[in-house]
Amino acid sequence: MSDFSAEFSRDLRSAGVVGAGGAGFPSYVKAQGRAGYALVNAAECEPLLKKDQKILEYFPAKVFDGLELLMRAVGAEKGMLCIKKKHEKIIPRLEEIAKSRKNITVLKMGDYYPAGDEQCLVYEATGRIVPPGGIPLDVGCVVSNVETLYNAAFRGVPVTEKFITIAGAVKKPATFKVPVGITWAEAVELAGGFTVKEPAYIDGGPMMGKVATDFSAPVTKASAGIIVLPKNHPLIVKKALGRPVFSRINRSACDQCSFCTEFCPRYLLGHNVQPHRVMRSQLFSAGPEHKLHSQYALLCCECSLCSLYSCPEGLNPREACVAAKSDLRELKMGFKNSGLNKGGAPKAHPVREFRKVPVSKLVQRLGLTDYSKDAPWTEVNYKPSKVRILMSQHIGSPCAPAVKEGQRVQKGAVVGDVPADKLGCPVHASIAGTVTKVNEKYVEIQAD
Ligand code: SF4
Ligand code: SF4
């Protein structure tokens, strides 16, 4: 690792920079690798979410600054901002900035789902396929989210604010920046309030996000936004089904047509993911056949395309894959020690190009046409009276509280941290005030 990589990765860790597109992977780890390409994932293909587009519209230079730092840290010769060509309003400005920077270009992609899947993005940008069970670094690429690079550009300044989109059944769908730790209820108020009596929400995009009803939950550093919907919206109902129910329905109705597999983006990249065979395994009780077929879930990226678009029966192959992976984890089986790991380089399916699913069709299928509108950038300058800083806002070990009840903290003070030898990074106070509650899950701060 070069001196600059070490210094930049220290800055990222101390500032608590994590993947801001939902994953929350600690960014300092990526800065320690070596890669020829540094890619900005600006695909933002989850319907209704707009925060990355708005960052690129209003703060583009910062994202390019972050990209240049990442390129220097990993030794990348090429930087590429990968965005859908439908964003024609902002692309000329992005191209102008790219031209003024060294070795950075803008890649314009089609409007399909999941263009933002890290491995699909790597293939679109470089023609390289990440090996099964591998990561982009294995093919000389490092991929970073728009907001993550925006945060990285501030070199060591703690991440205390978050860009989020509030969309769906709210009066004024909007994108804004708020202190980490405010509640979703406060964020919905900033978007004009609910338009339905019994709301629920999807935390993250409608495809990969999780259904929730507790609007008192806090915004985290990894939050991308929420989609508010009526509790009885079919998408909420389907995503909320528990394992016993979807397993029973899956078992009784799957006709093994294999559409789920034929449209699977990872299968189309040449990875051996076959959700229809995972569905078949649900017909067997746990035993050798069950385990054999379940292995076809191991490379599933949980994009939900099979469950929310491909399956003509409206079944839930994605959940079958998630459940199979969890069962296999208990048996200590991952892809590397599975029977499917036979080596050999994967090849993209010859019809991959023709099986890309347009986001417009997806929006119709999800029943979100009425909610599909802009969420304009809005300056809110919100000053909360209280925030709740979660100790687990990233992949890896959760933080342990680093403050005591009654203690005064300034904005940006470390309130939780992870031992240096563990994967993770600190969390910071997003407002100045007094610590009123501390436990292993969160630190609460009352504003001055
Ligand atoms: S698409 Fe649906 S019905 Fe067809 S194999 Fe997959 S889960 Fe079964
Ligand atoms: S969720 Fe379905 S479509 Fe997506 S990767 Fe997994 S099996 Fe494939």
Q: Is 320 in the same domain as 425?
A: no
Q: Are 22 and 208 in contact (CB under 8 A)?
A: yes
**7 Cβ inside 6 Å of ligand 2:** no
Domain boundary among 92, 126, 152: 152
- The ligand that comes nearest to the alpha carbon of residue 258 is 1
Q: Are 18 and 221 in contact (CB under 8 A)?
A: yes
Whole-angstrom Cα distance, residue 84 to residue 111?
A: 6
Specify the amino acid at residue 271: H
**282 Cβ inside 6 Å of ligand 1:** no
Return averaged pLDDT per consecutive 10 residues of the chain, 448 residues in all. 92 95 89 96 95 98 98 98 97 98 97 96 97 95 97 97 98 98 98 98 95 97 97 95 82 92 97 94 68 87 97 94 90 87 88 95 97 96 97 94 98 96 96 98 96
Q: Are 47 and 372 in contact (CB under 8 A)?
A: yes
Q: Is 48 in the same domain as 146?
A: yes
- Could you tell me the sign of the dihedral formed by the alpha carbons of 410, 412, 416, 419, in that order? negative
Q: Is 91 in the same domain as 38?
A: yes
- The ligand that comes nearest to the alpha carbon of residue 264 is 2
**321 Cβ inside 6 Å of ligand 1:** no
CA–centroid distance, 314 to ligand 1, in Å, is 8
CA–centroid distance, 167 to ligand 2, in Å, is 25
Q: Tell me, what's the pLDDT at 287?
A: 61
Question: What is the count of structural domains for the chain?
Answer: 3
Pick from 254, 260, 300, 340 the residue to mutate for probing ligand 2's pocket: most ligand atoms within 8 Å of its CB: 300
Q: Is 11 in the same domain as 79?
A: yes
In angstroms, the Cα distances linking 190 to 46, 139, 373, 444, 448 are: 22, 43, 17, 21, 21
Q: Is 14 in the same domain as 141?
A: yes
Q: Tell me, what's the pLDDT at 282?
A: 79
Q: What is the DSSP string of 370-393?
A: GG-----B-------SEEEEES--
Q: Is 392 in the same domain as 261?
A: no
Q: Which two tokens stand for residue 165?
A: 């989109």
Q: Are 105 and 78 in contact (CB under 8 A)?
A: yes
Q: Are 184 and 163 in contact (CB under 8 A)?
A: no
- The ligand that comes nearest to the alpha carbon of residue 260 is 1
Predicted model pTM: 0.94
Q: Is 274 in the same domain as 355?
A: yes
Q: Which two tokens stand for residue 154?
A: 């501030």
Q: Is 447 in the same domain as 337?
A: no
Q: Tell me whether residue 296 is in a domain.
A: yes
Q: Say if strands 427-428 and 414-417 run parallel, antiparallel, or are unpaired.
A: antiparallel
Q: Which two tokens stand for residue 295?
A: 């292995």
Q: Which two tokens stand for residue 213?
A: 């009803």
Q: Tell me, what's the pLDDT at 289?
A: 59
Count the Cβ atoms, other than its own, within 10 Å of residue 217. 17
Q: Are 295 and 377 in contact (CB under 8 A)?
A: no
Q: Which two tokens stand for residue 312?
A: 């003509």
In angstroms, the Cα distances linking 7 to 70, 153, 217 are: 12, 13, 35
Whole-angstrom Cα distance, residue 300 to residue 292?
A: 15
Phi, psi of 16 (to 5 degrees): 70, 35
CA–centroid distance, 133 to ligand 1, in Å, is 24
Q: Tell me whether residue 195 is in a domain.
A: no
Q: Which residue, by CA, sits nearest to atom 8 of ligand 2?
A: 264
Domain span at 405: 383-448
Q: Tell me whether residue 24 is in a domain.
A: yes
Q: Is 18 in the same domain as 127?
A: yes
- Percent helix, strand, coil in the chain (nearest 5)? 35, 20, 45
- Could you tell me the sign of the dihedral formed by the alpha carbons of 182, 188, 190, 193, in that order? negative
